[in-house]
Chains A and B, each alone.
Chain A
């Protein structure tokens, strides 16, 4: 009996050990190393808080965090607003037999490289790109608009990617929703709009928040899109981190900035988790 209990206890541990080992090796240990590095002086190697104080005292450094938060907030909100109706149409209006094909078409841009997609947007938004040629061709603008190399371009590139991601998470949530909820609401006299606002939307909020959180995390840590589309007219946190490494190899400062960025992501996670009560799910 005791052997059975022991093996019963051992099996779960055996199953989670590879995942724990992986996390320890490729997350916990590198994170500790990064923590030590962030408290080390680049020149001389002694203990210092200077890498953190640089961030909090230099306006051009914390401006990067403000820029990152602004861009991430805009991308998240716009992506949710676009993805929800799209997912709803897919889940509710497209016949069941066409849904798989429609989903595949919706996520088709995922099949191309992230870098190639960003450069494609650059060509679309450029001075001689499709949009500006159309606008000037139709006589809607006298001069080409500056669309590329702006925050607008960065947000556009991000939104294109994250709408697809959010559509998938919200679609899955909508499909899991039992039709009985809508029937019950209708029985109680609620119209389609009231049913959506008071029944469907609250029940799909977890899907929205999971997608929104993923969007936040991936967007705030992304280097490629702002680098290619933003034209470096403002720096975001990942660009600031990379800047420390290129020529000077200032890994301590890069580590400190990365840890600050990670702390912001952790705060966002805690805020979402508490709001959605994920810990009780």
Chain B
């Protein structure tokens, strides 16, 4: 008391410091209690997906979109520990996050793992050291997307159609090297899970033949637009993720699983080890994997895809568009997404660069 009287300036400073600290704490804890920060792909930004969760839990989900695991992990590395709670990631890249010490093991007993399609659990990638770090939430195929009124649908049951003169100039290639390299591998009779550097020359030759037939090589929006507007009739690497969302406006768009097979893609959800809101992060993952969340994610505005949960609450029409009932056959014929090590990954990207530069 006497100190406060004799040194009013010091007392004022102390009060100010205390007030600042209290305010900061209030703001911080307020933000933690009310917000969930998610690094996502565009399909998770759909309000129709997020709002039910936000309203049910009184939480705001802040999302940041990214494309490509490298870009996503760079965002995390440039952030403070605890800035992010959950992340959407290519299932094959879950080990990359685990190696960097970013992810928290997920409690399998609190997640409907048994309800997932067995082929898309991807345990080889999502389980590391006996612990589950990722759970598959959505999947589909990189295969042949096409306009069935412009091409002979029977031709679309073989990857050979992609390099035939019949469709020269009518083809777009999805600009992502891993799945399309996978398709080129299938076309030459290689198994996508067994690719080595020795396979790259033959794969490159196949890619160059596809490029010679292609009008463009486009990212998601460009390739989708090209198929939807009739600029091209076939999309190499396309699948339900291109055609299903456009089914109402353009029912002529379809996809096939060729006799050589298709490349199975899948995306997972992971929780950050440093999350300050792990309970809410787990609730979010549980919601996304729940039948209701799965139906909303599968039919998200950005792109449709198959829900990983077999019990997804999809309507009959939605199931028809996604060809839900045909999945057992599709999955049986699909091959794994190429999962190269860092060295082979770099070489594959260089092959892709050569293909893009080829005239």
Q: Which residues of A contact B (CB under 8 A)?
A: 42-43, 58-61, 63-64, 122, 126-128, 146, 148-149, 227-228, 231-235, 240, 243, 245-251
Q: Which residues of B contact A246 (CB under 8 A)?
A: 67-68, 70-71
Shortest distance between the CB of A257 and any CB in chain B (Å): 12
| Majority SS at the chain B contact face | helix
Q: A234 to B230: give the CA distance in the assembly, Å.
A: 22
Once A63-B357, A247-B69, A248-B346 are accepted as A-B contacts, the answer to whether A146 and B229 lie under 8 Å apart by CB is no
Is the beta-carbon distance between A128 and B216 smaller than 8 angstroms?
A: no
Partner of A243, one of B73, B216, B231, B349: B349
Is the beta-carbon distance between B68 and A245 smaller than 8 angstroms?
A: yes
Q: Which residues of A contact B194 (CB under 8 A)?
A: none
Is the beta-carbon distance between A232 and B218 smaller than 8 angstroms?
A: yes
Is the beta-carbon distance between A249 and B356 smaller than 8 angstroms?
A: no
Is the beta-carbon distance between B217 and A233 smaller than 8 angstroms?
A: yes
Shortest distance between the CB of B81 and any CB in chain A (Å): 19
Instruction: Say if the beta carbon of B345 comes within 8 Å of chain A.
Output: yes
Instruction: Say if the beta carbon of B178 comes within 8 Å of chain A.
Output: yes
Q: A64 to B176: give the CA distance in the assembly, Å.
A: 18
Instruction: Say if the beta carbon of B1 comes within 8 Å of chain A.
Output: no
Instruction: Say if the beta carbon of B108 comes within 8 Å of chain A.
Output: no
Q: A235 to B349: give the CA distance in the assembly, Å.
A: 13
Shortest distance between the CB of B339 and any CB in chain A (Å): 12
Shortest distance between the CB of B225 and any CB in chain A (Å): 8
Partner of B71, one of A59, A148, A231, A249: A249
Instruction: Say if the beta carbon of B105 comes within 8 Å of chain A.
Output: no
A247 — nearest CB in chain B belongs to which residue?
Answer: B68
Q: List residues of B (152-194) whose CB comes within 8 Å of A's CBs.
A: 169, 175-178
Q: Which residues of B contact A232 (CB under 8 A)?
A: 175, 216-218, 356
Q: A59 to B353: give the CA distance in the assembly, Å.
A: 10
Subset of 12 A-B contacts with CB under 8 Å: A43-B342, A128-B231, A148-B231, A231-B216, A231-B218, A232-B356, A235-B356, A247-B177, A247-B345, A248-B342, A248-B346, A248-B349
Q: A179 to B73: give the CA distance in the assembly, Å.
A: 61
Is the beta-carbon distance between A60 and B71 smaller than 8 angstroms?
A: no
**Inter-chain pairs besides A149-B231, A235-B353, A246-B68, 11 sampled, C-beta below 8 Å:** A43-B343, A58-B350, A61-B353, A128-B230, A231-B215, A232-B217, A235-B356, A246-B70, A247-B178, A248-B349, A249-B68
